[in-house]
Chains A and B, each alone.
Chain A
Amino acid sequence: MLSFAVAIMACAYLSTGLGLNGHVPSGLVVYILGFAVLMAAAHLTVRKFAPWADPLLLPLAAILNGLGVVMIYRLQEAGRNGNAGFQISTLTGHAAIYQLMYTAVGVAAFIAVLVVIREARILQRYTYTLGTVGLILLAIPALLPNSLSNIQGAKVWIILGGFSIQPGEFARIALAVFFAGYLVAKRDVLSLAGRRVLGIDLPRARDLGPVLVIWAASLLILFFESDIGTSALFFGLFVSMLYIATQRTSWLLIGVLLFLLGSAAADLIVPHVTERFTIWLHPFAGTNATGSAFQLVQGLEGMAFGGIFGTGLGQGLPYHTPLVQSDFIMTGFGEELGLTGLMALLLIFGLMVQRGLRAALAVRDPFAKLLAGGLAFVLALQVFIIVGGVTELIPLTGITTPFLSQGGSSLVASWMVIALLIRVSDAARRPAPQPIQDEGLTQVVRAG
């Protein structure tokens, strides 16, 4: 399965080279061998440290990561080395090799998580530590001056010299652990019902506290970092885990209601958010298409240009879409691989989410269950928010597409999430230890 994933990556890479200029790309061996070695390392680690793990998760992650590298290679080549189109100003000529290096870091993190965390519940011990770490990671960009935290209007970065990371990507994992630990401890209290209104059990007023705190926190992220996507993800993560822990629909409703309220308020107050709504509703009105909605419109026109079968890798014009290598990478795939390619990618994401949720269903430990359920759901939510955003289904918010988008933080964090899901699925599928002796029964001695 994994070799399939590597083979697909290799073919895609080859096809890109042929599509661009009719030649086999020069770095073919480096890219394919490098990627194959990394995936083999990941595979051996899973074999050794999580032998019962879900066999599908790693290949799914591998194929997405591989295609991401190929697409970034294709985009960096635009306008370079005599290829058609013009250079993407936000992309250097080394972007793909960097992305391969990030993949190495991601796989290293993947291996580290699997080696260090032998049981998901080890993490439970660090519930509050990780909670604090998560909040600090989140808050750092907001507190740093703009010169050290702001890239293209999103104040979500820590810039250190020539290097920048998005702490929010890692904060999400830390907070997922924190929520899981906190909710396992408090689930009985939280699921106590208060009054019953319209057939729904409302929680007790005093139990609303933690929800409101997280809501406020996510709103603060939104206000100070102008990052609706991340704030929606955090809130979604918390509400979904709260729901899993308590099984109370009322929490879900309250969560959704609070989110709608928050975004409505943001629409009125934060100009950045108001603009996003306008772009979403009227991308072609007035000068929007060449102004504020330029990126969205270029993405949409790119996907339309690809149509059902796409132009083929290297033969489209995705370089017209600004930042197509990060937030808009799905439109790049839509343009060059067409509707068919996008459906395949969405199915891969869907399978990944489904496998994560299945691990959550099967595992017995409530902490692992919550953690896996939350992480898997938020993965789905992330794909929904960004793909929905670039396809004009919902207002556009800038978040990365897991595994595909250019950038180290997102890639490493995604690999860590997959490591955790693999860890949980390993626990879920591990056969129960053979009882050595059944009490009350005579020991049967098999002869011969």
Chain B
Amino acid sequence: MNRAIRRLSLACLVMFVVLMLNVNYLQVFRVNTLANEAGNSRVFDQQFTFQRGEIVAAGGPGKQVVIAESRPVKGGTYQRYYPSGYVYAPVTGYDSIYGSTSPFGTTGIEHAENKLLSGTAPSLAVHNLIGLITGKSRVGATVYLTISPAAQQAAYQALSAFGKPAAAVAIDPRTGAILAMASVPTFNPNAYATSSSVELNKIDLRYRHDPSQPLLNRAINATFPPGSSFKIVTSSTAFSTGKVANPSATIPAPQFYTPPGTNHAITNDGDAPCGNGNPQIIFAFTVSCNTAFGKLGVTVGAAPLYQYANLYGFNDPNLTIPLPVSPSAYPQENDPAFRALSAIGQLNDAVTPLQEAMMAATVADGGTLMRPYLVSEVQAPDLSVIERTQPTVLRQVLSRQVATYLQTMMLSVTQNPAGTAYFTVGPTVTSIQIAGKTGTAQHGNTGGLDDAVFTCFAPYGSPQIAVGVIVKGGGFGADAAAPIALAIIRAYLGIAH
């Protein structure tokens, strides 16, 4: 009988080994999957018992500002507090009691950096372990953002003052660091920090059903027709492919242009002629002739135009900053009639304000598009640096030469008395040399004003900031959007100088 008992004891051994392996698998390898499982009541219960990390707006030369913090309340728990909630809402997002247990439990940076803020990221494991041994409770990491408090504040105020749905993004063209990201109308993230689920559901329902869409981050998650600002892409394509030699080269610009294959004529603003009908490209750009660039779009060809749009960042569904960015659209238009319209930013073209800022930033940085980012540094509770973002090149879009051509042309838009933005951001208004391009886009809806677009960088000689602004229903780009961009630039450079 002993042989059988020995075999059975072997079977017992196998059973115990299998149990132990499974427990190891469960408590080591499945920890994260299970922790992120929807409705995990332990994660839910625990989130307020420790101090979540701060979010700090630390960009630009000015003072750093804490924009999200956890304050102790009675009962040994903490409550999230956003000191300037509305101003930074598109950046911070909110952190509700549903935390990571629900897909809408957190948004914005609160969502993207949740693991570091909550202290559950693997890179914080050692710190947590030390905390466990020394008996300190878990504290989340502090997330430092590239956001400049001055620029953000200015952007929010300027956008709110206009009173229309609008958004603005400012980038440091040399690094890709996002200096401002504002969107109106917006929401109060403090309303989401309530510990009452009844109250939370009430406020969430109200925001979600609000027709003005306050939860929508228009800076990166809404697209608008780019209008004439797309002429930057069309010009870039023309210079880079050699179809146009330099800004002084002339291009055909009839008063009315009917592209092949259609009866529908493209006109300029107010049906005006464009110079002498064969102006230098810099003049057509400065006064924003539609006929010249519509015809130029047909001339450069479908594939090159599509290629340069993509280089600038269009049609990229995977960009994260680390918030996911909705793709800007430029479909390849093989039909010349459609391409003529797409070359002047109409038809199916759609951009985010971030994409507008990226276009100006590319030109400003000598043709190099830096990867846009929001998080500059993450610090553990003991102030050691866990992550630090190194600026990286996203793509080389233009040659330095072509970038210089574009810079010259964009400067002319504001400095030439005939330029579309001369009266709003030109030398009569500010001593800062701003180089930009206006856009006034018909969004298809009859009635109401057009969408106003302005993309620019400054100062011209040594660019430090690139801004993209879109005001829905704002009218002319120069009238509505350009002053907002100027306010942001002034606020940002005003500190530097």
Contacts and interface: CB of A to CB of B under 8 A. Distances in A.
B37 A297 contact: yes
Given A289-B37, A303-B26, A373 B19 contact: no
A246 B3 CA distance: 10
Interface residues of A, number: 52
B4 A289 contact: no
Given A289-B39, A302-B42, A393 B22 contact: yes
A125 to B, nearest CB: 21
A406 interface: no
A353 B33 CA distance: 34
Contact of B5 (A297, A360, A383): A360
Contacts of B130: none
Interface in B181-239: none
A246 B38 CA distance: 52
B428 interface: no
A301 B27 contact: no
Give the size category of B's interface with A. Answer: 35 or more
Contact of B22 (A305, A357, A388): A388
A304 B34 contact: yes
A339 B37 contact: no
Given A353-B12, A361-B6, A393-B22, A317 B45 contact: yes
B418 interface: no
Given A284-B37, A290-B39, A300-B26, A357 B12 contact: yes
A245 B1 contact: yes
A380 interface: yes
B75 to A, nearest CB: 10
Contacts of A166: none
Interface string A253-284: 00000000000000000000000000000001
Interface in A309-323: 309, 316-317, 320
B23 interface: yes
B23 A391 contact: yes
Contacts, number: 132
A93 interface: no
B8 interface: yes
A343 B20 contact: yes
B3 A247 contact: yes
Contacts of B9: 353-354, 357
Interface in A294-347: 297-298, 300-309, 316-317, 320, 334, 338-339, 342-343, 346
A244 B1 contact: yes
Interface in B1-54: 1-9, 11-13, 15-16, 18-20, 22-24, 26-28, 30-31, 33-35, 37-43, 45-46
Contact of A387 (B11, B19, B34, B40): B19
A302 B37 CA distance: 12
Given A369-B5, A377-B8, A346 B19 contact: yes
Interface of A: 240, 243-247, 284, 289-290, 297-298, 300-309, 316-317, 320, 334, 338-339, 342-343, 346, 349-350, 353-354, 357, 360-361, 366, 369-370, 373, 376-377, 380-381, 383-384, 387-388, 391-393
Complex A-B, nearest 8 residue pairs according to Cβ-Cβ distance, in ascending order = A304-B34, A339-B27, A380-B12, A384-B15, A357-B9, A244-B4, A305-B42, A350-B16
